[in-house]
Every structure is written in structure tokens, then in C-alpha cells.
């Protein structure tokens, strides 16, 4: 049983220092003093510069690009805390890298998401706090408690402030229907799906829309975008189907340079994402970032105080 902020220690790697500072500010606990640097040969060096013996330690580190470096930093921070006799170590991973490699979809390929789960537990992680995993069943890869938060309450708040009429929520592919359905339910909006027809093993063509979008404002929702290709392609077919204003929402904007050009030239009026990873400032892009520091901070507080995190999933009395 952990009580009082004095028993809590927040540490962070170099993946997303601003988010770590914002979380610490929300909780009202200073960010712990830890040195994280690299030797000339690229090896990571970590030293925790304060006492964590018997403390409830939370290590904040999204495993976003450079994924391998950030993952290794996290593992070494965990090992350092374990060897310093921390009472409990919770890995706070707002964005869980390698989540898409969650099954054997080809011969002789690894299940890397499970490997990463094994590495975290072997390093000494006692609990995981994460947000919007690419597939919820990844929680089953861990033999430790996993608290899985959703960005939906944060993103929905931004959308509700815009008061968009005649809204239809759209999944850009069949795999995202469950997430789109959750948004539609909370917003009281209709639901549609963009479908790609596969014409060969390597080509897709003839996209079409299942659902009514003509004359409607639409909201595309997805868990992750990197190149924005799926979102931009879906927006194009929605426009041709008669949609009016097109908005997009993603939990994790792991954007690369090609995404900027695509978004500038796309039919998407606004892309709304969270700061689960550092988001580049692309000139002229219709990009809005919502902070999840309060969501993650509240999750950390409740884990520390051994309270339920279920109420964090509620919006307007509904559980998402």
C-alpha cells in the first residue's frame, strides 16, 4: 500500500521530456533527477541521482522513433531502479512501439510485441500504464497488471467544443471499426467505413464507402498515423462520395516528413492528435495537438494510491 506523494518518484528518459514535465506538473511532484546520456560508441548510460529505495517509481518513456534507442533507455532505467531497491516500478509508455508486430502473419517472422513485453518484465517492470494500444489483446502479452487508457475523452472534448453539425464518424479501414463505433456512440453520430478492394497480393484499388456520408461532415478516426496515407486516401474517397468538411483524429501522430506534404494537399480540414509522442511542427499543416498529460497524470495518481482507473473511461456517463 503506497500513500502520499513523498513515496512517489517520477523518472523519464529522453524520448519526450516535455510530456514528462507536464505530467509531473499535473501531479504536483517534481521530476526525478536521473542522468541519461550516450557514450561515444552509442551505448546508453543511466544514473539515478536520488534515493528511490522503497519508493513507488514511475518511468515515463514512449517507445517512439528512434524506437530501439528509446526502448533500450527504458529498459536500462528500469534496471537501474530495480537495482536501487525501488519498491514498485511502473513503466508509463504513452505510445507502445512494435505494437503492430503482434502476430505471425507470414512464415518465419517474430512476434516482436511479445518479445518487448518479455523484455520489460525481465528488466523489472511490475506494472504497465499505456494508452490506445494498436490491438487491445496486447495486454495479454504481459504477466503483470496493465492499465490501458484511452485518448478518446481528451480528443472528444476538443471536438465537442467545435459543435460540428450533421457528423458521421468514419473508420478508414475495416480494422478500425471498433474504435470508430466508440466515437460514434459517445457523439451520438452515424457510422461509416471506407473499404479498399484488394485486386492482387500487392495492390488495392476501387475504394468505396459503406454508410451514408453525402452532405454530412465526417470524422475519420484511427489509432495511429505515420505517413498519413490511409487518412488522406480515405478523405479523397469521402469527398467524392459527397462529404462536406472532413476532420481526422488519431491517438498517436508518429508523423514523418512525407505526411506534411500529403496533409497540406489533402481534403482533411483538421487533423487532431495527442502529444503521446513529440509531434513535429509542420508549416501549413492543419494539425491540432491535445495534451494527454492530465489523463496519464491521473492514471499515475490512482495507481499510486491503489484506486480504480475505470472512471477515466467515462464520458457523459458512458464507459468507452
Structure confidence at residue 318 as a pLDDT band (50, 70, 90): low
Distance of CA 309 to the CA centre of its chain: 17
As a whole number, mean pLDDT of residues 197-211 equals: 60
CATH of the domain at 180: 3.40.50.2020
232-291: pLDDT as tens digits: 989 999 999 999 999 999 999 999 988 999 999 999 999 999 999 999 888 888 899 999
| Listed range (70-74, 134-138, 161-165, 315-319) with the worst mean pLDDT | 315-319
Report yes or no: 272 and 248 within 8 Å, Cβ to Cβ.
yes
Give strand ranges (E) for 8-101. Answer: 8-12, 34-38, 44-48, 56-60, 88-93
Compute the residue count for the chain: 320
Q: For position 174, what pLDDT does the model report?
A: 81
Same domain, 315 and 267: no
Q: For position 204, what pLDDT does the model report?
A: 45
Provide the residue range defining the domain that includes 30: 5-150+293-319
Same domain, 93 and 125: yes
User: Which ranges in 28-111 belong to alpha helices (H)?
Assistant: 67-83
Same domain, 156 and 110: no
Considering only residues 313 and 112, tell me which one the structure prediction assigns the higher pLDDT. 112
Same domain, 62 and 142: yes
Determine whether 244 is an active site residue.
no
SS3 290: strand
54-94: pLDDT as tens digits: 999 999 999 999 999 999 999 999 999 999 999 999 999 99
- For the chain, the maximum distance between any two Cα atoms, rounded to a whole number of angstroms, is 61
Same domain, 207 and 196: yes
Q: For position 320, what pLDDT does the model report?
A: 59
Same domain, 253 and 299: no
Q: For position 304, what pLDDT does the model report?
A: 96
Considering only residues 137 and 57, tell me which one the structure prediction assigns the higher pLDDT. 57
- Start-to-end C-alpha separation, the chain: 29
145-202: pLDDT as tens digits: 999 999 999 999 998 888 899 999 999 888 889 899 999 999 999 999 998 665 544 3
Same domain, 138 and 265: no
Same domain, 190 and 283: yes
Q: For position 203, what pLDDT does the model report?
A: 44
Distance CA(100)–CA(134), nearest Å, equals 6
Catalytic member of 5, 47, 157, 196: 196
Q: For position 195, what pLDDT does the model report?
A: 84
Same domain, 73 and 24: yes
Same domain, 270 and 312: no
Distance CA(62)–CA(49), nearest Å, equals 22
Report the domain count for the chain: 2
SS3 101: coil
Q: For position 311, what pLDDT does the model report?
A: 73
Same domain, 119 and 185: no
- Tell me how crowded residue 243 is: count the other CB atoms within 10 A of its CB: 22
pTM of the model: 0.91
What is the per-residue DSSP string for 284-313? T--EEEE--HHHHHHHHHHHHTT---GGGG
Amino acid at each position: 500500500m503506497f500513500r502520499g506523494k513523498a513515496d512517489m518518484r517520477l523518472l523519464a528518459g529522453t524520448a519526450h521530456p516535455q510530456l514528462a514535465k507536464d505530467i509531473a506538473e499535473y501531479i504536483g511532484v517534481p521530476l526525478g533527477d536521473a542522468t541519461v546520456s550516450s557514450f561515444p560508441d552509442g551505448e546508453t548510460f543511466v544514473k539515478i541521482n536520488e534515493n528511490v529505495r522503497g519508493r513507488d517509481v514511475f518511468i515515463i518513456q514512449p517507445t517512439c522513433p528512434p524506437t530501439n534507442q528509446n526502448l533500450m533507455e527504458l529498459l536500462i532505467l528500469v534496471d537501474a531502479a530495480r537495482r536501487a531497491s525501488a519498491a514498485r516500478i511502473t513503466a508509463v509508455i504513452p505510445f507502445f512501439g512494435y505494437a503492430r508486430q503482434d502476430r505471425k502473419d507470414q512464415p518465419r517472422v517474430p512476434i516482436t510485441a511479445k518479445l518487448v513485453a518479455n523484455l520489460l518484465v525481465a528488466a523489472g517492470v511490475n506494472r504497465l500504464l499505456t494508452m490506445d494500444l494498436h490491438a487491445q489483446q496486447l495486454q495479454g502479452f504481459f504477466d503483470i497488471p496493465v492499465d490501458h487508457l484511452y485518448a478518446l475523452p481528451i480528443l472528444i472534448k476538443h471536438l465537442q467544443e467545435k459543435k460540428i453539425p450533421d457528423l458521421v464518424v468514419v473508420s478508414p479501414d475495416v480494422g478500425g471499426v471498433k474504435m470508430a463505433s466508440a466515437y460514434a456512440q459517445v457523439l451520438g453520430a452515424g457510422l461509416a467505413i471506407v473499404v479498399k478492394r484488394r485486386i492482387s497480393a500487392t495492390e488495392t484499388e476501387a475504394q468505396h464507402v459503406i454508410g451514408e456520408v453525402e452532405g454530412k461532415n465526417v470524422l475519420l478516426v484511427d489509432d495511429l498515423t505515420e505517413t498519413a496515407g490511409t487518412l488522406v486516401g480515405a478523405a479523397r474517397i469521402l469527398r467524392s462520395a459527397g462529404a462536406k468538411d472532413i476532420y481526422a483524429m488519431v491517438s498517436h501522430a508518429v508523423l514523418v516528413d512525407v505526411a506534411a506534404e500529403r496533409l497540406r494537399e489533402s481534403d482533411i480540414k483538421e487533423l487532431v492528435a495527442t502529444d503521446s509522442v513529440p509531434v513535429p511542427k509542420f508549416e501549413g499543416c492543419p494539425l491540432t495537438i491535445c495534451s494527454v498529460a492530465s489523463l496519464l497524470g491521473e492514471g499515475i495518481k490512482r495507481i499510486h494510491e491503489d484506486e480504480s482507473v475505470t472512471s477515466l473511461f467515462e464520458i457523459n456517463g458512458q464507459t468507452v
